[in-house]
Amino acid sequence: MAKVKSFFFCSECGYQSSSWLGKCPECGKWNTFSEEVVQAVKPASSSSKLHSPLSASTPKPISQVVAAETQRIPTGCAEFDRVLGGGIVPGSLILLGGEPGIGKSTLLLQTALNIPDRRILYVSGEESEQQIKMRADRLMGERKAESEECYVVSETVTQRIVEHIEQVRPDILVVDSIQTISSETIDSSAGSISQIRECTAEFQRLAKERSLPILLVGHITKDGNLAGPKVMEHIVDCVLQFEGDRNYGYRMLRSLKNRFGSTAEIGIFEMQGDGLREVSNPSEFLLSQRDENLSGCAVAATLEGARPMFIEVQSLVSSAVYGTPQRNANGFDFRRLSMLLAVLEKRCGFKLGAKDVFLNIAGGIRVSDPAIDLAVACSVLSSNVDMPISPRYCFAAEMGLSGEVRPVSRVEQRITEADRIGFEKIFVSKYNMRGINKKRFGLQIVEVAVIEEVFRALFA
């Protein structure tokens, strides 16, 4: 009988130890070790192929390495392609993470059904073939899922997935999800750290050996990390995250790591009754149709990646009923809001300390662009004095601690887009306008240096 061995693994970084440790010597996290029974099973003949070295390569000068012209595979979905950096790179291993129910399976099945001229093998460890078919029919609606090039199979063992690949010879492999897959070479249950690590490594070898792109679905834990050790993120070429507020239909696809493209790009989708729809013009849902005379609203001209987005910021400032004022921010960093409020208090003389402040970014979207600062400050000011800001004004500037209005990146692109959409005025930092020809634009560019000036321009 094979000897039963157990090891302890760090759930953060996958560090392996033969005894339990309180603190991981690798990543320094406390209390992350858990025990797993690992029994090395003799590799079967089919799996031993998996363990062969990639190829016998010898070191050579970089000048002699021939750069292969990588032909990316377009997914047939512009938003997905954008996040990937222009399509799927052959031989790449892509991890798609996201909370349960956010739409990972839907996104990948929809891609599998619509990708032009490629054979796809969709392996699911979570759903039966009938369930996949039902979902596919739902996604295709009238047209029904009749694609001859989309193969589906319900399977949970890597060695058998390899057999299916030999048989089907797909151009792309989808595995939903890595937590349900196990390898016969180790004897621990699917979803355990050692299994996830081994399976990811096996898929990595498979992808590189056969130049077969593989899309893996990964679950996310409560605290927003990809379940399973961080090692997985080190192994794969791309880490994509699918996110969104459940209460809204909008979903965002971000790239957290991409060896073949930028990580700044995002893709936006809307979840509908028959699958995900691409949203190519995000401003359409981010700008709510509002009345001219509502106070507390301001529009920010932001950039996510290379794409301009106009986002509406709404605030409500009211007198605090209790001693400690309440602060709440939806879609915006809470500490940043506190900082902006402190600046407004100091510079504009408002007694915000005695007020409740609620902030909301329309559409349930989360932005990381600092250029949203000025719109946040102005929406708070507008609600505080109860005077509306015209919906035809927008803002693009960061704010400093002393109330100065600071320049932001690629302001020209923001102004061009604001002009195109039909805004009348855009407020930017005056330090942003050097060398920019203002006459080029139809809209009025208001250059400001400090927050007091903005306040006077809007409400005086």
**Binding stretches for Mg ion (CB under 5 A):** 105
Q: Please report whether residue 252 would count as binding ligand TYD according to CB under 6 A.
A: no
Instruction: Give the one residue of 72, 138, 208, 425 binding ligand TYD; rule: CB under 6 A.
Output: 138
**What are the residues whose beta carbons fall under 8 Å from the beta carbon of 41, sequence distance 6 or more?**
2, 184, 185, 186, 187
Instruction: Give the one residue of 82, 135, 307, 347 binding ligand TYD; rule: CB under 6 A.
Output: 135
Q: Letter for the amino acid at 23?
A: K
Instruction: Give the one residue of 47, 81, 104, 426 binding ligand TYD; rule: CB under 6 A.
Output: 104
Q: Point out the residue whose Cβ comes nearest to Mg ion.
A: 105
**CB neighbours (10 Å) of residue 328?**
13
- Would you state the structure tokens that stand for residue 256, as one six-digit string? 């957290």
Q: Please report whether residue 139 would count as binding ligand TYD according to CB under 6 A.
A: yes
Instruction: Give the one residue of 24, 50, 73, 102 binding ligand TYD; rule: CB under 6 A.
Output: 102
Q: Please report whether residue 125 would count as binding ligand TYD according to CB under 6 A.
A: no
Closest to Mg ion by CB, 135 vs 254, is: 135
Instruction: Give the one residue of 61, 100, 116, 323 binding ligand TYD; rule: CB under 6 A.
Output: 100
Closest to ligand TYD by CB, 153 vs 264, is: 153
Taking a C-beta distance cutoff of 8 angstroms, is the pair 193, 207 a contact?
A: no
Q: Residue 456: name the closest of 348, 341, 383 by CA.
A: 348
Q: By CB under 6 A, what part of segment 185-224 binds ligand TYD?
A: none
Minimal distance, residue 236 CB to ligand TYD, in Å = 18
Q: Please report whether residue 271 would count as binding ligand TYD according to CB under 6 A.
A: yes
- Judged by CB under 6 A, which stretch of 81-89, 133-141, 284-292, 428-436 contacts ligand TYD? 133-141
Closest to Mg ion by CB, 276 vs 371, is: 276
Closest to Mg ion by CB, 139 vs 348, is: 139
Closest to ligand TYD by CB, 214 vs 311, is: 214
User: How does DSSP assign 303-365, residue by residue?
Assistant: EETTEEEEEEEEEEEEE-SSSSPPEEEESS-HHHHHHHHHHHHHHH---GGGEEEEEEEGGG-
Provide the terminal-to-terminal Cα distance of the chain, rounded to the nearest Å.
86
Residue 340 interaction partner, one of Mg ion, ligand TYD, none, beta carbon < 5-8 Å per kind: none
With tokens 């979803």, the residue in question is 191
Q: Residue 309: name the closest of 380, 254, 365 by CA.
A: 365
Q: Please report whether residue 273 would count as binding ligand TYD according to CB under 6 A.
A: yes
Closest to ligand TYD by CB, 103 vs 267, is: 103
Minimal distance, residue 211 CB to ligand TYD, in Å = 27
User: In this structure, what is the dihedral angle of CA atoms 147, 204, 104, 152, given to the nearest 10 degrees?
Assistant: 30
Q: Please report whether residue 98 would count as binding ligand TYD according to CB under 6 A.
A: yes
Closest to ligand TYD by CB, 105 vs 258, is: 105
Q: Please report whether residue 274 would count as binding ligand TYD according to CB under 6 A.
A: yes
Closest to ligand TYD by CB, 249 vs 403, is: 249
Alpha-carbon distance of 335 to 9, in angstroms, equals: 35
DSSP three-state, residue 34: strand
With tokens 């005086």, the residue in question is 460
Minimal distance, residue 404 CB to Mg ion, in Å = 48
User: How does DSSP assign 55-110, residue by residue?
Assistant: -------GGGS-------B--S-HHHHHHHTSSBPTT-EEEEEE-TTSSHHHHHHH
By the 10 Å C-beta count (0-12 exposed, 13-18 middle, 19+ buried), 425 is classed as middle
Q: Residue 402: name the closest of 455, 343, 341 by CA.
A: 343
Alpha-carbon distance of 166 to 169, in angstroms, equals: 5
Q: By CB under 6 A, what part of segment 367-426 binds ligand TYD?
A: none
Minimal distance, residue 126 CB to ligand TYD, in Å = 8
- Point out which residues bind ligand TYD (CB under 6 A): 98, 100-106, 135, 138-139, 271, 273-275
